[in-house]
Structure 1
Amino acid sequence: MKVACTVWLGAKGVKASDLSRFLLKEEQTAAYSVEIWKRFRKWGGVPTGITQNIKDLLASREIENIFENSDFILMLNQAAGDRQILAKQLNISPYQLSYVTNSGEGEGLLFYGTTIIPFKDKFDKNLKLYSLMTTKPEEVEKREKEMEAEKHEGN
């Protein structure tokens, strides 16, 4: 089984990013996180990490190992300081960096091994599929209210 470890960079509005930051802040939990990451990969698992700022992730040499051993990275809009760090760490060209510089929704870079793929995905917000997949709190709340209303209409 092929295993891909994922680090989501620049994720917005995701509460898990705060949890990752706290887990990686203390030496003991950071060391434990690295060990679990390595074991899960060895066992065929797909460990996933989310961070809004790469500086948080790379504050520790141990945690840097997680980043360096990640086969798959999805990178969204990045702050200037984070872009500089990432450009150096991942050998990103200035052209490729434009996809994570003041980028809009659905724009970024995908990394798989040594392959870097820029993307711009404009998903039609009028589609039912969009309403089912969105993670924007206000849109999720709207969807849940609509589903509740439909449920009551059906009774």
Structure 2
Amino acid sequence: MKAACTVWTGAKGSKESDLSVFLFRYEYSANFFYKLWKRIRKYNGLVTGLTQNVDELLRSDTARLMLANSEFLVMLNQSATDRAELAKLLNISDNQLGYVTNVPAGCGLIRCAGNIVPFTNSFPKDTKLYKLMSTNPSEKRE
């Protein structure tokens, strides 16, 4: 589902909010995605969802339920409103929230099976591998 939406957005050249939010905006698509998510998990599949605006995504009860029941989450730098929503939903302490407050790229929190661990994953920018992996549009690719 995410791949299909990513292809569509790329084809459209969309600058709108991220697609995870779009999927949960309407009850029909939210229910479809929730059923698909449950079915994939039933067969030990891995579902990947990405969002840049947690607060907006969590306005959907379906999205809130899915996020709360996810075994593995990676949280990078978050806005104040997003941090507040994540703290309430996932029982993240103020101390832990410091790891997603005004942090550089590659730093954040991992939540796995209810455990929350801070991480730093810095990578040298002057390498070919970094240039291949970077998703920062302001960095020129050769």
Measured after TM superposition, the shift of residue 138 of structure 1 is 3.9
Q: Which residue of 2 aligns with 1:106?
A: 106
Deviation at 1:118, TM superposition (A): 0.6
C-alpha displacement of 1:45: 1.6
Are 1:43 and 2:6 an aligned pair?
no
Q: State the distance in 2 between where 1:59 and 1:30 align.
A: 12
Question: What one-letter code is carried by the residue in structure 1 that aligns with 2:29?
Answer: T
> 1:37-71, CA deviations, whole angstroms, 9 ceiling, x for partnerless residues?
10111122211111112122221222222112211
Residue type matched to 1:107 in 2? C
Deviation at 1:88, TM superposition (A): 1.6
Q: Which residue of 1 aligns with 2:52?
A: 52
Give structure 2 stretches of 5+ with no counterpart: 1-14
Contact 2:24/2:57 (<8 A) preserved: yes
Task: Determine the structure 1 residue equivalent to 2:117.
Answer: 117
CA shift for structure 1 position 32? 0.8
Q: Does structure 2 retain, via aligned residues, the 8 Å contact 1:96–1:118? A: yes
Question: What does the per-residue CA deviation read over 1:105-125, in whole Å, with 9 as the maximum and x for residues that have no partner?
Answer: 111111111111111222111
Deviating above 4 A after TM superposition, structure 1's stretches of 4 or more consecutive aligned residues are none
Give unmatched runs, 5+ long, in structure 1: 1-14, 144-155
State the TM-score, normalized to the length of structure 2.
0.81
Alignment coverage as a number of residue pairs: 128
1:1-155 counterparts in 2 under 5 A?
A: 18-139=18-139, 141-143=140-142
Report deviation, 1:98. 0.8
Bigger relative contact order, structure 1 or 2, given CA contacts below 8 A and separation 6+?
Answer: 1
The range that moved more, 95-104 or 120-129, is 120-129
Q: Is the 8 A contact 2:68 2:90 kept in 1?
A: no
Counterpart of 1:142 in structure 2: which amino acid?
R
Q: By percentage of residues, which structure has more strand? A: 1
Higher CA-based Rg:
1
Q: Is the contact made by 1:75 and 1:100 (CA closer than 8 Å) also made in structure 2?
A: yes
Identity %: 49
